[in-house]
Structure formats: structure tokens, C-alpha cells
Chain A
């Protein structure tokens, strides 16, 4: 459904990133980690297409949910101009979300940049289990606070491309070095496609399992227009799925199959 929701608060997380709290009871109570909302970023329709943004937290009893976003272009720039009290047109919650099994004792989340946001919600919702968090950023300026992860008592590993915080280089290097990617019940991956593919490859080689949240440019956001198509290799053969409705979360080995 699309709703006229109210912006409750706006916070500048770091240089170009914002955290927005939105009051909308239905979305707040239905939202699951890995799902997203499709947001109309301009009230006077300066932009035609909505922008997909992950739900990074939800408070069912308070009737609010949070999104966090980085300003990339016109849509996210306009979104950053919203103020508490403003009305916002959001469709959601959309997509399938991460699969989480109560029997999991040890999981890892691997995120790059804005890919950390949906993983934050997962960490918050996954209860009292052992969680290793691997976060990769461009530079220390881009490292933003993530409440779920900070309060969750997780083991946090950090990397930046320029070495200004944590390991200098890719987060997948840290993931490979410090840990055996096979020792987790499930690895959750979200970030740039090269990072996701590399991380999924490490998990495969170590004999583990993983889920990847994919990004694709969208039109409708609900599975009707097929612009967000993604190829997956399943046991039933190669299929075309929609990132917005069948995804955005897929089995990591189905979206990044082993190249023969």
C-alpha cells in the first residue's frame, strides 16, 4: 500500500547520510529486515520515479520505522530536505526480506557502504546469538553510527578504502583473514555487487551458506513492470526474477553461481 506518512525526525548521521524516522503504523508493524520502502522524494512531483530505500529499524508499538540514506543524486538530495512534520508518500513494506531461522547460533553480516543499513535491522531482530559484523566504507567520514549493531554486543570489523578507519582495503579481505567464512550458520551480504560476489565466493569455498540483498534500478517497485530483472540459477534452471518482489534478498549461490 502507499501511505501518507509523517516524518517524525531527521538526523544527519555523517557527512552525506541521513536517518529519517517515519510514523506509519502499518509499515512499522509489518516490516521485516531486508524489506524496503519505495519513496516519493518530491512532494510536487519534480521526480517521476520513486526511490527504493531499505527499512533499517522498526518499532511496531511506537508505530514508527527508520530509513537511512546517503545523498547520491537528485532524489536522495530532495529527500534530505524533509523536516519533522512533513508528509511523505511511501509504498511498503516491499520485497521478501532476509530469511532467518531461530536455530541459528552464529551469523555474520557483511555490508558495504549503504548496504550496512538493512543489516542493522537484521542484527537488531536476530536476538541473543553470536554475530560478527563486517563493515566496509570508503573513508572514515562515511562511517555512520548504527544503533542495532552498536547495542547488539556484536564483534565489529571495520575497513576503509583509504585506511582512515579500521583495516585499509576491502572488507572481504578482513572477512577472509580473521575468520573462516564457513563457520557461520548463515552469512548475510549487502553492498556493491563486486563486494557481494567476492563475499559469496568466500562463503562458498568455505562450505557455508549466504543470502545476498541485490540492488537494481526500479520502476514500479512491486513486480509489475519487470525493469528490475535479475538472473538466478536454481535447481529448476535459470530463471528471471524481480529484485523488487521476488527479492531483494536471494540465495547467494543462486545470484552468483560458480563459474564452470
Chain B
């Protein structure tokens, strides 16, 4: 049987539902030596800011049970360097390009969205959820009003599809998701990392120089799946799910809970071919279950007791 693994999000057609998650895949160059980038649905590039950023001091990483904390702090070359140095190279491949943007202020988001509107990218992922910077970003993502304000501003500044990336560090993620939808988002992606801390008991100091960092990897997967399920019930726009995906089975949990596509982040560090293996595994699952496309799986979850 021929199966079609393609998915459409906000009118953008991805060859398969697997996207490399922002911050774990750079701009694709390094992992491009391990995998054929044409076999990914898309890439969300390292979080961009208006000006280049140096990021936080090291150590920036700590392994935790089934996960890791990072406190990179949005080190990146800035949006202009991305447009000039990275897009032409990345465009040689068929995968779709999402520009992940993070701002200190609403004005930053607007300026980046306007600049990217003219650039050769497919979607803008609005990062209102980075836990590792002092100003802006997650402070917008923490409240429905903040999410709505940034989303509305970006929506006005660009015709490109707008995906809003949500933070799990809130008491009710469906309310920030609804705020993104009301602000005109074409889709939402979730979850970004969960803020955490690891303490070195010998020095009695946090292991990360930044004190806290964002938890990612398998440890956060059940939280992420639950949140995708909640958001699916709350909004009508497509959802891109992520958090601890290591295999096709993990990815399918997100899809069944309501995601139209998925992102793979931390697991690339463990297995540089993770994205491809997840995509291949999803194709096998469709074949084995006699399904022609993914659409029917999205949100097909049946709850117990209903």
C-alpha cells in the first residue's frame, strides 16, 4: 500500500511530520553530515534575536535522569547573519525552514518578523518561551495577555505563517494557546523546556553557571503529551508537539493526542539519525495499520471512561 506521510500546516506542505527542534540542530549544517536533510519535514533553526548574542557562561548543560538541563541563553549570530549566511545554503534542501525568533521587547519581534517577511523562509516560530534569558521572551509567554500581544504584533508584521511556541511553565497551557489563536497564530508548538535546577552538593552551588536551565528529553514527555491533549481540546489551529521524542512510538503519542506534526530535539544528541528514524517509523506504522495518511490519526485519542 502506498502511504502519504505528508502534512500541511498553515498551507505549508511538509514531506513528513518530523521537524528538527530549535536550538538542537543549529542551522542544519552539522547534522547534514549525518542525515540526508531532504528526508526531514522541516527544521526550526536556532533561536534568533535582532542582534547577535553571546549567550550565558558555561557550564550550560547538565544531564539529569532521562533528560538534561540547558542554559545556552540564545547564543546566535542575529537575524541578518541568518538571512545572509544560512538560508541560501539550507534552501538547497527540500525541508521546510522555520525561523525561530526571540525578542526582548514587542518591538524586537515586530522588526524581526518584518525582516523575515522578505526572506526565503517558510514559517516563523515565535519563541515566547525561552527560560534562559533575563529579559523578554518567556515573560511574554507566561500570561495569555503577553502571548496575545506578541502574536498580534507579529501577525500584523508578516504574511508568513506564524507558529507560536508555548512554555509549559504556566498553570494552564490551554489559556496561553487560546491567546495565541485569538492573536492570529496559524499554529502552536509545544512544549519548550521546563525550568529546573541541579545542585552540586560539594560546592553547594547550582551546576549550571546560569543557576537554572531548561529541562528537555524523555523525562518531560508525559507532561508534554498531556499538554498537547489539553491544547487540542482548546484550540482549532494545528499543533506541533514535542518534548522527549526518541522514537516513532513516542511521536505517535503526540499525534494521537492532537499534534499534526512533531519536533525532535534532545534525542538528536544521543542518536544523530533520530529525526529520520522517527519519520521512517511513522511511515511503517501507517502501513502496518492500513492508514493512507496521518491526518486521521491526529487527535484520534479515545479516553477511558467515555
Given A40-B270, A48-B269, A223–B30 Cβ distance below 8 Å?
Answer: yes
**Of the residues A1, A219, A221, contact of B70 by C-beta under 8 Å:** A219
Q: What B residues does A8 contact at CB under 8 A?
A: none
Stretch at the interface among B56-64, B152-160, B226-234: B56-64
Question: How close is B10's CB to chain A, nearest CB, in angstroms?
Answer: 26
Question: Which of A14-22, A184-192, A225-233 faces chain B?
Answer: A225-233
Q: Are A49 and B269 in contact (CB under 8 A)?
A: yes
Q: Per-residue CB proximity of A100-127 to B under 8 Å, as 1/0?
A: 0000000000000000000000000000
Is there a chain A Cβ closer than 8 Å to B68's Cβ? yes
Chain B CB within 10 Å, residue with most, of A50, A216, A218, A225: A225
The answer to whether B72 touches A1, judged by C-beta atoms less than 8 angstroms apart, is: no
| One of B26, B58, B66 near A216 (C-beta < 8 A) | B58
B60 surroundings in chain A (CB, below 8 A): 217, 226-229
Q: Is the CB of B30 within 8 A of A220?
A: yes
The digit string for A35-51, where 1 denotes a CB below 8 A from any CB of B, is 00000100001011110
Check A245/B58 contact, CB under 8 A, given A47-B63, A226-B72: no
The answer to whether A225 and B270 touch across the interface, beta carbons within 8 angstroms, is: no
The size class of the interface chain B forms with chain A is 35 or more
- C-alpha gap A230/B59 in the complex (Å): 10
Query: Nearest chain-B residue to A38 (Cβ)?
Result: B269
Q: Would you call the interface of chain A mostly helix, strand, loop, or mixed? A: loop
> Could you mark each residue 69-103 of chain A with 1 if its beta carbon is under 8 Å from any beta carbon of chain B, else 0?
00000000000000000000001000000000000
Docked complex: B40-73 residues within 8 A CB-CB of A: 46, 54-55, 58-63, 66-68, 70, 72
B218 contacts partner chain A, Cβ-Cβ < 8 Å: yes
| Distance of A84 from chain B, by nearest CB (Å) | 25
* CA A217 to CA B64, docked complex, whole Å: 13
A222 on interface, CB distance cutoff 8 Å? yes
CB-based contact B24/A220 at 8 Å: yes
B268 within 8 A of partner (CB):
yes
In the bound complex, residues from chain A placing their C-beta under 8 Å from that of B29 are 223-224
Q: How far is the CA of A230 from the CA of B60 in the complex (A)?
A: 11
B217 touches which of A48, A217, A218 (Cβ 8 Å): A48
Q: How far apart are the CA atoms of A67 and B225 in the complex, in Å?
A: 40
Per-residue CB proximity of A193-237 to B under 8 Å, as 1/0? 000000000000000000000001111111111111111000000
Q: Please indicate the chain A residues that have their CB under 8 angstroms from the CB of B272 in the complex.
A: 2, 91, 220, 222
- Cβ–Cβ contact B55 & A220, under 8 A: no
**Nearest-CB distance from B54 to chain A (Å)?**
5
CA of A218 to CA of B34 in the docked complex: distance in angstroms?
A: 18
**Chain B residues with CB below 8 A from A218, complex form:** 61
Looking across the interface, which residue of chain A has its beta carbon closest to that of B268? A220
For this complex, 17 residue pairs linking A to B, each with C-beta atoms less than 8 Å apart, are: A2-B272, A45-B246, A47-B63, A48-B68, A49-B61, A50-B269, A50-B270, A219-B70, A220-B268, A222-B30, A224-B24, A227-B61, A227-B70, A229-B72, A230-B58, A231-B54, A240-B55
Given contacts A1-B33, A224-B29, 4 further A-B contacts (CB under 8 A): A48-B217, A219-B68, A228-B61, A230-B58
B: residues with CB less than 8 A from A are 23-26, 29-31, 33-34, 46, 54-55, 58-63, 66-68, 70, 72, 75, 217-218, 246, 266-273
State the A residues within 8 Å of B (CB): 1-2, 40, 45, 47-50, 91, 216-231, 240, 245
